[in-house]
Structure 1
């Protein structure tokens, strides 16, 4: 038989080869895991950590690790490159965006403090690429069900919060009243919930047009009512903009011919809706103009950041580090606080410009315009298609809903920071991936392939055993750590008991779910690489869960400090530092506690952060402050905290000099006191460059001048405080400086010192 006939015999066998069960399972489970991730990030809220949104970040981090590990295992087992020549044109903007951010981050001097946000950016990019490469219409259908389920839960709880505003006590959860009567549902902030209402309503609205289920109209009504009670002005305008986008896409591409005859009327109605939203937002902005002022001053400062780094920017994740050096003093008056850390620019486009430069902003705009243009062209092509099959129509409706949701997020991003948080940032990444997945033509190379040759049995078995052992250890470790979190909660009310029960249910569901997916994937595959890849992801899962645990320990430390138990707080701060090395805030708080305890006996204490040699609290505080200075030198209270440490040490050394047993010891103590006081002065003066409003800083400098018997220098600082910071002209701000009781008391001390100095001079 000829070679030609042999080739013909083999060809049909290749077409009918049995698909790999492992590949089928992974492709089926990826949209389910994505859906659960979206659902849990939307509805999870937890108050036993210092940051109530930390649970959402933890779910995002670990969910992204699981998704990307499964995708990597699939592609390595199949020996397929997902970024084929056919896929690359669709993915190019995302690669360029991720690449530019990586380049900008490489030049950032404060990498540790910005690392956590940069890691999330990479996770978002990975999720977008995964969905764009792997998802099909049926996968989008699965994802949509989860988003609508999240909307039902979130909107229903928002309705309960609305009722609670009129009938107090209806909301039984421990966090009720966080924002008075403003509704925030299962989100950490009314503005974040407003963003969720916008995109969830777009998805639900398109689903209604596809299925005509009347229950979805109820859902949309609940969402609109909840949006009103958020009192989020930017969300109102963004909701109207998203609705206008949906109306425009629908009437131009999906509406029947009868509806298109009324295109002009529909456009006018959409424009009127946007106008009404703008007027409503303006009315509420006039009632709470403080919010508008805060954003205006923040934007002005961000523009100054752009001017100083116009090309490369300051680096992704660096806004919270660099911005305090540019922050306008008016922000401190508006927030009425000095321990404030504005972490974002209240405008996504401005933050992109400030942190990634003009090039980064251009790439970001290219990416979002590319996504929107792809959606519009695909809808137009679908409308012009001669064959309007049910599958094509379904895809068009999904594309309509997700494009409107994406546009709504973009509109809200002009006046809000929600894209920088997991509750919206995840969906921003998901929506881009879904839109590209629905637009691009299916790639034959993405089809489920046949079984590949199996690895050696001993190697595959070893990988499975290793994975099983790793899963059991990771599950035990996470559960044991989480028991510490819930053990600190008191179920004194029904709401607190419900929170504990729900938190354990969610944790066990996530842990057991990951174990099931990993084990099934490893045992379905005949390739050892699958077990090894999944095992390699387990340390990352434990590491990112540690961020949640660290935030809990930090919360306990802050609580104990507030209860005047600094010794008990130190151990918790040390645990927090160990579990999350990226958060310098933990170190700064621990250093402040060391400054308060000021135990000068050298001891070796791992609970106090000692690694090798014995230390005292003064040395430990200096070490922690040195780390914070290196990573985040512009924190509002950092330099004042350092000044207080030197000030306290100077006072302690001066007291030691008074009880010195001999002249040598007296001189040593006195010199140490002078050195520390000089350091304190420098730190306090540096503090005024980032916070020229804080009266405590001026009072410390006045106190130092009084101790040095220098009334003129003390008067200088009193006058500087009463003048107010440079650039502040608002009378409502400056009047706070005119009659401050503490400064007035300092003025009397200065007068007494001046009188004493004059008397001594006259005697001489």
Structure 2
């Protein structure tokens, strides 16, 4: 490394853009790491907006600088094409995946924007972070962000350990305190995202300690390690350990020199210890709660099947979450114990890249990783070449004095650690940690190509304070423009400026000189026109990204009003969200649900709820009036959902409810023809939902009810049986009672009865779509997790036969309802009524005695009254 300044020809504007870039990158990534805003629906939506607008600014400044001297920048990239090309191709892969392969542009739009920002900022860093001054500045700001986040993480830990849960007052002053129980999430809003940030930054901090031997870095690393532990994220533990192993493996190879044998002993012992501790910790976590691992395994299986539908070019970047519902296995519903949830990602970055962009995009991704890692190792070997120095005692020894070697050691280890972590998560897709992961990649590439690395590579044309002030002013204007509260915007900006001055003054080192007498600009008129066009485009994009942020604020407000039952204000705010972010699926879905629940059948015109002059009164309820009724509004919003995500959550079921209620309305009003029409529309929607969720009991119950309204009692019976069949979709009798563990005659008898029950119920196939053989990998007693639901279906089926006076079948299913879930007291009561009505007194006595055996404390049969 040469301790000098590289002379570069350029204008005042050229160097101005350079100065703004070198400070802008450092400030941006600091803000992304530490900022959150609790007035938005997503508390970390501000990180997304910071990345979108801040990333656009950095890219804009880079383009403006490029246009000031295009030949020089073009020459640089062409000379270093081997390092730059994988980034460019990975960017192009994402673009072709969005524009050519994705059938759902809105769904893939958010992901392709992130890909553009990640790759272009990395490419910018490769070229523009071309001096020790610039690299060191970014490292300093990142480490300070690490300190802020880990310090707040310690506060969260102490708050969860020694203070009562919300809404009581605790050490953590923010309303989201203890949102994940005892798991900390710091400024990242999610333990896994926070863990990935710690994984990436931990080796960087450790490298600085090994270089400077300053205990402050060791303390910060210990804080990082502790924070990683108390995220209780198994993936983060694995990634942290991987980064630690990579770090010391590289250190032994390239840094130990003369004392290699002595150092190797301690390093190997330490590495083995932390690997064992991590292994034990992960195993204990897995044993205590196997759902996390099972969730990933079954999601990966579905993702593999999805990949096979378009294995070469993929199915479209960012479309996993909108296509996955059609492939989701029933086990996921058992694990989550909910049905109104969505899985946005397959919890494996490598699988998702393959699904998104096919084997071509996946190959480019692997090429980028392998090429960058191998060239980084070669560069590390050069940087770490030892120099002979004389210590204080006059002894000669070999040491690596090149700071680049330690930067490369930390950056490479952190990057590889994060890539390891992302085998079991997709944190690098989210801006909170993804920004840092790709920044590290850019810094690694920058150190590789900018060799030798000068102390300072460009002229300073503005003062340190002015540069920080301009950055602070830019973000203050944005915060106010985004409608953040004035006190928060001003406070954050003021603190940012003070922190920036302190960080830069402490580490300024040599005198900060400002160059003068430079040409104002060397750009030609056409270049100036292009620059102006780029600025206009950037401003336009900023208004779009701002709209997303404002929409998220109003989404939070809308949910508040919904919880209060203030439907009018809720809908008004939801409509503002839809106007600012038309691709926000949840907003359309929530609006549909609000209209569905409110169910106002008085036709009125409300533009603030999305009503338009061109709306048609297709329900023919009060057709002469202007406006819409809630069923029309609800279906309209569900249709908006389906344009963005064809199988979003429970939208098909909810639409079925709308049609079912319409059918009931027209039936009660004597319009049989319309009632039949809407009942059939309801069945159409319910069957669609059945395809993506075969174990939702309410769907079967509502289909059975609709078939009853249509007079089709045979299909109504089949619906109850179809739901009961699904308890055998993922298991067999051996999963309920293991033959190997049978030790008594009673257990043997129960097992034989269960086999007979299985033989009967496994014939009640729910449809041609869901097959037992498709779901029988690694079986277990899944149905026990939904015992109450299946018991209720047995009860409903028993009631069905009781009404038909088929008492033998009714008795059988009431009994199965009790056996499936003993606290189904309605089944007990109905069976007692059946025995009384059929005068089976002996069975009645036996049943009551059995009840006393199961519930000895209920001597008065109070549960059965």
TM-score band, normalised by shorter chain: 0.7 to 0.9
With 703-712 and 403-412 compared, the bigger mean Cα shift is at: 703-712
CA contact (8 A) 2:62 2:124 kept: yes
User: What displacement does 1:629 show?
Assistant: 1.6
Higher RCO, 1 vs 2 (CA within 8 Å, ≥6 residues apart): 1
User: What displacement does 1:23 show?
Assistant: 2.3
What residue number does 2:669 align with?
Answer: 656
User: What displacement does 1:305 show?
Assistant: 1.2
What residue number does 1:417 align with?
Answer: 426
What residue number does 1:75 align with?
Answer: 66
753 and 31 in structure 1: CA distance in 2 versus 1, 3 angstrom threshold: farther
What residue number does 1:276 align with?
Answer: 277
638 and 68 in structure 1: CA distance in 2 versus 1, 3 angstrom threshold: same
Is 1:31 matched with 2:22? Answer: yes
CA contact (8 A) 2:135 2:443 kept: yes
Question: Within 2, Cα distance between the matches of 1:476 and 1:439?
Answer: 37
Partner-residue secondary structure (3-state), 1:582: coil
CA contact (8 A) 1:478 1:542 kept: no
Question: Where do residues 266-665 of structure 1 align in structure 2 (5 Å cutoff)?
Answer: 266-267=267-268, 269-384=270-385, 393-441=402-450, 479=480, 482-483=483-484, 486=485, 501-502=487-488, 504-506=490-492, 526=521, 528-529=528-529, 530=531, 533-614=534-615, 615-616=627-628, 617-657=630-670
Partner-residue secondary structure (3-state), 1:482: coil
Partner-residue secondary structure (3-state), 2:188: coil
Q: Which has the higher helix share?
A: 1
User: What displacement does 1:334 show?
Assistant: 1.1
CA contact (8 A) 1:158 1:226 kept: yes
Question: Where do residues 52-201 of structure 1 align in structure 2 (5 Å cutoff)?
Answer: 52-80=43-71, 82-84=73-75, 85-105=78-98, 106-136=100-130, 137-168=132-163, 169-201=170-202
91 and 480 in structure 1: CA distance in 2 versus 1, 3 angstrom threshold: closer
User: What displacement does 1:222 show?
Assistant: 1.2
Structure-2-length-normalised TM-score? 0.74
User: What displacement does 1:476 show?
Assistant: 7.3
443 and 246 in structure 1: CA distance in 2 versus 1, 3 angstrom threshold: closer
User: What displacement does 1:314 show?
Assistant: 1.4
Partner-residue secondary structure (3-state), 1:82: helix
User: What displacement does 1:724 show?
Assistant: 2.0
What residue number does 1:682 align with?
Answer: 684
Question: Within 2, Cα distance between the matches of 1:248 and 1:608?
Answer: 61
With 624-633 and 406-415 compared, the bigger mean Cα shift is at: 624-633
448 and 42 in structure 1: CA distance in 2 versus 1, 3 angstrom threshold: closer
With 64-73 and 473-482 compared, the bigger mean Cα shift is at: 473-482
Question: Within 2, Cα distance between the matches of 1:254 and 1:624?
Answer: 62
Question: Where do residues 249-268 of structure 1 align in structure 2 (5 Å cutoff)?
Answer: 249-259=250-260, 262-263=263-264, 266-267=267-268
Question: Within 2, Cα distance between the matches of 1:693 and 1:17?
Answer: 67
Structure-1-length-normalised TM-score? 0.84
390 and 139 in structure 1: CA distance in 2 versus 1, 3 angstrom threshold: farther
Question: Within 1, Cα distance between the matches of 2:479 and 2:459?
Answer: 36
472 and 127 in structure 1: CA distance in 2 versus 1, 3 angstrom threshold: closer
Question: Where do residues 714-725 of structure 1 align in structure 2 (5 Å cutoff)?
Answer: 714-724=716-726
321 and 556 in structure 1: CA distance in 2 versus 1, 3 angstrom threshold: same
User: What displacement does 1:210 show?
Assistant: 2.0
How many residues align? The count is 690
Structure 2 residues without counterparts, runs of 5 or longer: 1-5, 164-169, 390-397, 462-469, 500-517, 616-626, 737-780, 807-865
Partner-residue secondary structure (3-state), 2:173: coil
What is the alpha-carbon root mean square deviation over aligned residues? 3.3
Question: Within 2, Cα distance between the matches of 1:147 and 1:590?
Answer: 41
Partner-residue secondary structure (3-state), 2:79: coil
Partner-residue secondary structure (3-state), 1:649: helix
Work out which of the residue numbers 705, 708, 721 in structure 2 matches 1:706.
708
Deviations 1:438-481 (A, max 9, x none): 0113599x975999xxxxxxxxxxxxxxxx9xx99998796265
Partner-residue secondary structure (3-state), 1:90: helix
Question: Within 2, Cα distance between the matches of 1:541 and 1:504?
Answer: 20
CA contact (8 A) 1:19 1:449 kept: no
What residue number does 1:8 align with?
Answer: none
Question: Within 2, Cα distance between the matches of 1:216 and 1:265?
Answer: 20
What residue number does 2:513 align with?
Answer: none
User: What displacement does 1:576 show?
Assistant: 0.4
78 and 605 in structure 1: CA distance in 2 versus 1, 3 angstrom threshold: farther
Question: Within 1, Cα distance between the matches of 2:376 and 2:478?
Answer: 45
Question: Within 1, Cα distance between the matches of 2:427 and 2:569?
Answer: 36
User: What displacement does 1:510 show?
Assistant: 8.6
CA contact (8 A) 2:118 2:438 kept: yes
Deviations 1:693-725 (A, max 9, x none): 222211211211222233322221111112225
With 170-179 and 63-72 compared, the bigger mean Cα shift is at: 170-179
305 and 706 in structure 1: CA distance in 2 versus 1, 3 angstrom threshold: same
Deviations 1:636-682 (A, max 9, x none): 2121111112112222222333xxxxxxxxxxx43222211111101
What residue number does 1:12 align with?
Answer: none
Q: Which has the larger radius of gyration?
A: 2
Deviations 1:542-567 (A, max 9, x none): 22122111112112222222222222
User: What displacement does 1:111 show?
Assistant: 1.2
What residue number does 1:662 align with?
Answer: none
CA contact (8 A) 2:44 2:188 kept: yes
Structure 1 residues without counterparts, runs of 5 or longer: 1-14, 452-467, 487-499, 514-522, 658-668, 757-764
Question: Within 2, Cα distance between the matches of 1:339 and 1:648?
Answer: 20
